């Protein structure tokens, strides 16, 4: 299957700082990328949908000014957690869709474990 | 509001057993249902189902969809300890682009 990378895999930061997470599709062009977060023992919750060259669409309850998403190219999307607080500590996972109506399969990155002290 | 309900939430079996995981759903505009396996990190894709009654098979895993009764099952035969993982069912609504709506998952533990 297609490969999606995420960087960093783990980050620890102080409260009030900003953290940027990168998501790259390595062997295909991703017209759409998705950002999810997962709390311990819970399922993945969609945060936002990111289309290349346009503004991200955020799910209800997700603050767009806090979770900045940039999808500057067909292979890269970034999520910046601004002014992070301990409650933002979570597992953040991106996924990429190659486009086209023939498949709904998304390929997931390995995730980023964010810990805010 | 769309719903995805998985059962059981957790399951412990012995190696060699066969397991059936369930996923029922409610959706306004069904497009597809997907199964993923999640071990320590991100989910890995197993199956995508769009049509009723057509079994998808990959090795010891198989899955089928019933669009009339609104459910899908994932079967694993001759389980191995490496099958221990969380199995996630996700729904795609035609009105939501390609976004995945996940169930809570079934945590499977296969003991030696």
For residue A34 the two structure tokens come to 């998705």
Q: How far away is chain B from the Cα of A97, in angstroms, using its nearest Cα?
A: 8
Q: How many CB atoms lie within 10 A of CB A79?
A: 25
Q: How confident is the model at residue A102 (pLDDT cuts 50, 70, 90)?
A: low
Residue-level pLDDT at A99: 64
B79: distance to nearest CA of chain A, Å?
A: 23
Stretch (H or E) spanning B28: none
The string of pLDDT tens digits covering residues A65-76 is 999 999 888 899
A42: which 2 tokens?
A: 């819970």
Q: What is the pLDDT of residues B29-88, one digit of tens each?
A: 999 999 999 998 789 999 999 999 989 999 999 999 999 999 999 999 999 999 999 999
pLDDT computed for residue A1 by the predictor: 61
**Looking at residue A101, what is its pLDDT?**
57
Of residues B31, B43, B98, nearest to A97 (C-beta): B98
Please give the pLDDT value at position A111: 94
């Amino acid at each position: 299957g297609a490969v999606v990378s995420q960087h960093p895999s783990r980050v620890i930061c102080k409260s009030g700082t900003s953290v940027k997470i990168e998501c790259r599709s390595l062997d295909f062009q991703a017209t759409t990328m998705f950002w999810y977060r997962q709390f311990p023992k819970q399922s993945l919750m969609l945060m936002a949908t990111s289309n290349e060259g346009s503004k991200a669409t955020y799910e209800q309850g997700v603050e767009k000014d806090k979770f900045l998403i940039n999808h500057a190219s067909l292979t890269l999307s970034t999520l910046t957690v601004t002014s992070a607080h301990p409650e933002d500590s979570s597992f953040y996972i991106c996924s990429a869709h190659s486009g086209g109506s023939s498949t709904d399969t998304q390929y997931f990155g390995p995730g980023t474990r964010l810990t805010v002290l | 509001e769309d719903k995805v309900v998985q059962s059981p939430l957790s399951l412990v079996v012995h190696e060699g057993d066969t397991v059936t995981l369930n996923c029922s759903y409610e959706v306004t505009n069904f497009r597809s249902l997907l199964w993923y396996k999640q071990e320590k990190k991100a989910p890995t894709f197993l199956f995508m189902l769009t049509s009723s009654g057509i079994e998808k098979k990959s090795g010891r895993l198989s899955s089928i969809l019933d669009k009339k009764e609104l459910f899908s099952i994932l079967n694993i035969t001759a389980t191995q300890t490496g099958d221990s993982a969380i199995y996630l069912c996700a729904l795609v609504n035609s009105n939501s682009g390609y976004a995945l709506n996940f169930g809570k998952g079934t945590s499977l533990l296969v003991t030696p």
